[in-house]
Structure 1
Amino acid sequence: MSLIKKYSFPLLLCITAWLWLYNSSCIRRDNFRTNGGTIAFSQDTLLFDTVFTAMGTSTRSIKIINKEKERLKIESIRLFRGSSSPYFLNVNGVSGKSVSDVSIEGNDSLYVFASVFIDPTNTDNPFIVEDRIVARVNGQDFTLPVLAYGQNAIYVTDSVLQTQTWTKNRPYVIIKNALVEEGHTLTLNAGTRVYVHADSRLFVQGTLKVNGTKNDSVVFQGDRIDRRIYFDDEDFVNGVGGEWGGINLLKTSYNNTINYLLLKNGGASTMLGENVITDASLQVDPDTVNNGTPKLTITNSTIRNSGGYGLLAFASSIKSENNLFFACAKENVALIQGGRYDFFGCTIAGFASRINTATDKHFSMVALNFLSTGNNEYIGGNLFLTLRNCIVYGNMEDEFFPNKVNDFTAQVTLDHCLIRSNAALPSWVTQQSVLLNQDPLFENTNANNLHFNDYHLKTGSPAKGAGVTFSGMASQDMDGTPRNNPPSIGCYE
């Protein structure tokens, strides 16, 4: 009994004090500034890059900042166009066109997330979709412009394609892969723009014809074009290697021709059923037709910033002239398991982007007459490779790696090329007028911004006028500049 008397009074004081503090805190939590007050937005416009209609975007965010010392209650955060707005808001996990009764502590901020879904129209050209975010505090409205550029598109979803022609009128968006059926031809006219979703690809069993021009190339890229969400202003224009899969010319495909094609940011490793598809922007499978015409003839084209390989070929046949391959996470060009290849006037540059997905540095180019299948196990094929008037150079000591097994033929000829190779090239590689380890003096190689990379040759470059004229050589370089006699080495005169 004495113990109860001893501790009951202090205990009562503690309970009383606790209740007082609790009630005080409740009062403080409800103590908002009831008149005036200023808020600000973290930016002057909420801007979305081009949005494909019927697809929507990933989410953007802005901050609402309380400029006062006191707590403020925001009566509502709403879209000015209300239920007709194509935009959606999310505040503190609550989604909709309007959110009510949101508080911000003094000198604190609140995130508002927004997305947009634009209905298709009949317009071919890009169009502007506008609205405003309106935040009301104590009867006063604060507004933020919201702006998106909409673009109608033609959606190709998990489709088998028969003979048809794509044009520049509207972009094409490939979702869940597309397949050109055997015996059919897909033709892409000058200026055609193709956006490929995530890990999707274009597979070709038949024939692909890309008819770009110098002033109107055909472009393949990922469909995640609102990259400001992910990168700062320096990086978003470049994209990241592996934004989409690639183009695969399958075994039955033949007589493919590509002129003035830009392939950028491809090379995602993807799945097709239970099968893993290699991470290459352009993959050319074995030539099973063998009709004397190369399986692929590619000219005046650029493959850049792949998340894996740029051009990858297995036991195939390719003629490549006036092309530029650069900034790929793995080899820019990889020729595996033999095949027959002619590379004329190409620049293969091993300068990767700092925002690429690669962690290891690879050669610019490899040429093998085998494909490893396990420990000391391989399959192979005869290899015939000619590099003429080509540059293979980068920031590694060795950028060109030819290798062979003796079970199969390997004939590699370097004719009037500039090659970076600190290690001696194998004796079975034929060399004629090869410039080894001489800096080609490119105009600019910038790992921070691919748009600053310029593989034209500076005055005084050892590659200037160091090539050889040969029968059937293209009369112009990638720019359309006439080739001199003798021509320069690389894709630019």
Structure 2
Amino acid sequence: MRYLLPLLLLLSALTTTVLLPGCEPKEDLVTTDSGARLEFSLDTVKFDTVFVATGTVTKRLWVYNRNARAVRVAEISLQSRPAVTYSLLINGDAVASARNVEIRGKDSLLVLVRATVDPTPADGKPFLVEDNLRFVTNGNEQAVKVLSYGQNAYFHDGETITVNTVWKADKPHVVYNSVLVNPGITLTITAGARIYSHFGSFLVVKGRLLCNPDYQPKGPIKPTDPNIVRFQGDRREAEYAERPGQWGGIEFDLGSQGNVLRYTEIKNSTLGLYLYNPFDEQPRPQVRIDNVELRNISTLNSGYGFDGAALLSLCGDLAVSNTLISNCEQYAVYATQSSQVQLDYCTIANYSLGTRDQPSVLVSPEAPFVAINKRPLPVVAPRLFAVRNSIIWGSVRSGEELEFVAGEQYVGNISIRNSLLKTKRYDNTGALGQQKNGNILNPDEFTASIFKSTPSRPRLPQPNFELDTLSPASNRALPLPGLSTDLLNRPRNPTTPDIGAYERVNP
């Protein structure tokens, strides 16, 4: 009997341990709380230069359970795209997806993500393939972005350029998380370079940008000329080819001077060229633009809180010639505060993809926003808005493509000559009226066609803003010194050239 009591106590303790769940370690108990969430070591699993050089590479992603109790992840999965094959390694198993994976409390899970891609795809393949790695826990869905570049390129990820640098044309350049050119530094982009920027990324110039500075065509060129420098978004699929708002744009800040862009195409951004000097300080940003095309510009759905433009200047200086601006969702040219803008032989053909209420050209002493960090922005009269031998046209609902805010206060700083304008507000002979200086106002677009083909009058498969045979802009310009060729380097009539970026070519 003396051994019976200790034996009973031992059996009782063992039974209690087995039967009572409360004695199970807390970190092994699985919570069903819908508020339980995971944390991740990365918000983006990114495959870049190593990836395209080797074809296959593996990246690590740590998944953390910060909860006291265990969680059961109902699903870990991603959907592979045709250009990229993804696979996962979870708990030692190579899988396309996994279900009911438990992570103990205060513990972690290592997920290996492997991507395989053709390192030398055809030019039509996308640079960028995005996917989401999904985690579903107690009804909560979380995702980590998977980002893969499918072609060999120079990758500029959040880069700050601190020495004079040349971007060559031997491989494409991909901008991710923006690029900054430091003060006093020059970035030179050579003929034929291709720059592809990720969503929201800018090229920010505090120093100097020389874009295609040395290219000298020997004769007329085509719009597809391989020596043209081209900026666009990094999505290469066909549906993104002409979609606005895919990347930020090129910004020139206070002190950025001597900038030159020649034989360049900028498309599909939220802002085209942005001169940013909102407090009217010195030295002012200065940019010269020759033989450039800007199209498909829009800040719609960008979250910026202000309307964008192909050329947006806050107290900056712009000299623009032989340039085409087309298909902007808001303004083509937006010159604010003390900006100084000169347009020579330019064509603004602003046929937006949607309904547009903003005029193509807006000049105002006020900035698009009233303050920065509660510091009010100055209201300053524009120094100069001068237009010669140019077209300002488009599809705005009001029919008014030109507006000077409080223009009577700086009328002496406005000069428009030998240009074709769509404006009823300024069709009189008053101080701001433009029925003078050789200007052509409001021709009937359908009885006297201005361009070869437009979205509202599509006579070719694609818009073509060269002058139609009987365009009212033909032979109505005055020769300008130093501008004897057009956007495509074709010779202009030496005595009676055409208005706009293109000199009409006789069949």
Instruction: Give TM class, smaller chain.
Output: 0.5 to 0.7
| Separation of aligned partners in 2, 1:265 and 1:128 | 18
Contact 1:381 1:409 in 2 (8 A): no
Report the alpha carbon displacement of residue 383 of structure 1 after superposing the two structures with TM. 2.7
Shift in CA distance, 407/373, structure 1 to aligned 2, threshold 3 Å: farther
Shift in CA distance, 198/117, structure 1 to aligned 2, threshold 3 Å: farther
Shift in CA distance, 368/410, structure 1 to aligned 2, threshold 3 Å: farther
Partner AA of 1:302 in structure 2 = E
- The aligned counterpart of 2:232 is 221
- The aligned counterpart of 2:416 is 414
- The aligned counterpart of 1:237 is 241
Say whether 1:478 aligns with 2:483.
no
Shift in CA distance, 52/383, structure 1 to aligned 2, threshold 3 Å: same
Partner AA of 1:331 in structure 2 = Y
Report the alpha carbon displacement of residue 441 of structure 1 after superposing the two structures with TM. 1.9
Report the alpha carbon displacement of residue 340 of structure 1 after superposing the two structures with TM. 1.8
- The aligned counterpart of 2:478 is 468
Report the alpha carbon displacement of residue 150 of structure 1 after superposing the two structures with TM. 4.0
Shift in CA distance, 195/458, structure 1 to aligned 2, threshold 3 Å: same
> How many pairs does the alignment contain?
353
Partner AA of 1:189 in structure 2 = T
- The aligned counterpart of 1:458 is 468
Partner AA of 1:88 in structure 2 = Y
| Separation of aligned partners in 2, 1:310 and 1:190 | 22
Shift in CA distance, 483/405, structure 1 to aligned 2, threshold 3 Å: closer
- The aligned counterpart of 1:8 is none
Partner AA of 2:417 in structure 1 = D
Partner AA of 1:367 in structure 2 = V
Shift in CA distance, 194/451, structure 1 to aligned 2, threshold 3 Å: farther
- The aligned counterpart of 2:62 is none
Shift in CA distance, 343/163, structure 1 to aligned 2, threshold 3 Å: same
Shift in CA distance, 302/460, structure 1 to aligned 2, threshold 3 Å: same
Shift in CA distance, 410/118, structure 1 to aligned 2, threshold 3 Å: farther
Contact 2:356 2:395 in 1 (8 A): no
| Separation of aligned partners in 2, 1:205 and 1:188 | 16
| Alignment of structure 1 residues 247-262 onto 2, 5 Å | 247-262=250-265
| Separation of aligned partners in 2, 1:289 and 1:378 | 14
| Separation of aligned partners in 2, 1:422 and 1:209 | 39
Shift in CA distance, 86/263, structure 1 to aligned 2, threshold 3 Å: closer
Shift in CA distance, 124/452, structure 1 to aligned 2, threshold 3 Å: closer
Task: Judging by fraction of residues, say which structure has more strand.
Answer: 1
Partner AA of 1:204 in structure 2 = V
Shift in CA distance, 329/258, structure 1 to aligned 2, threshold 3 Å: same
- The aligned counterpart of 1:178 is 179
- The aligned counterpart of 2:73 is none
Q: Secondary structure at the match of 1:301?
A: strand
| Separation of aligned partners in 2, 1:428 and 1:315 | 24
Partner AA of 2:492 in structure 1 = R
TM-score by length of 1: 0.64
| Alignment of structure 1 residues 339-354 onto 2, 5 Å | 339-354=339-354
| Separation of aligned partners in 1, 2:419 and 2:114 | 51
Structure 1 counterpart of 2:363, from 367, 383, 393: 367
Shift in CA distance, 89/361, structure 1 to aligned 2, threshold 3 Å: farther
Identity of aligned residues (%): 26
Partner AA of 1:490 in structure 2 = G
Report the alpha carbon displacement of residue 338 of structure 1 after superposing the two structures with TM. 2.8
Contact 2:320 2:343 in 1 (8 A): yes
Report the alpha carbon displacement of residue 446 of structure 1 after superposing the two structures with TM. 2.1
Q: Secondary structure at the match of 2:248?
A: coil
Report the alpha carbon displacement of residue 167 of structure 1 after superposing the two structures with TM. 1.0
| Separation of aligned partners in 2, 1:409 and 1:369 | 12
Report the alpha carbon displacement of residue 448 of structure 1 after superposing the two structures with TM. 11
1:259-292: CA deviations, max 9, x gaps? 011111101xxxxxxxxxxxx221012375559x
Report the alpha carbon displacement of residue 360 of structure 1 after superposing the two structures with TM. 3.9
Partner AA of 1:282 in structure 2 = L
1:327-380: CA deviations, max 9, x gaps? 1111011111132221100001120125xxxx5432111122333655999611
Say whether 1:264 aligns with 2:267.
yes
Q: Secondary structure at the match of 1:371?
A: coil
| Separation of aligned partners in 2, 1:251 and 1:464 | 40
| Alignment of structure 1 residues 76-225 onto 2, 5 Å | 87-88=85-86, 117-118=115-116, 150-161=150-161, 162-211=163-212, 213=215, 214=221, 215=225, 216-225=227-236
Report the alpha carbon displacement of residue 315 of structure 1 after superposing the two structures with TM. 1.7
- The aligned counterpart of 1:388 is 388
Partner AA of 2:272 in structure 1 = S
Shift in CA distance, 116/208, structure 1 to aligned 2, threshold 3 Å: farther
- The aligned counterpart of 2:273 is 282
Report the alpha carbon displacement of residue 462 of structure 1 after superposing the two structures with TM. 0.8
Shift in CA distance, 183/409, structure 1 to aligned 2, threshold 3 Å: farther
Report the alpha carbon displacement of residue 323 of structure 1 after superposing the two structures with TM. 0.2
Report the alpha carbon displacement of residue 88 of structure 1 after superposing the two structures with TM. 2.9
1:241-266: CA deviations, max 9, x gaps? 11111100011100100001111110
Shift in CA distance, 343/117, structure 1 to aligned 2, threshold 3 Å: farther
TM-score by length of 2: 0.62
- The aligned counterpart of 2:44 is none
Contact 1:200 1:246 in 2 (8 A): yes
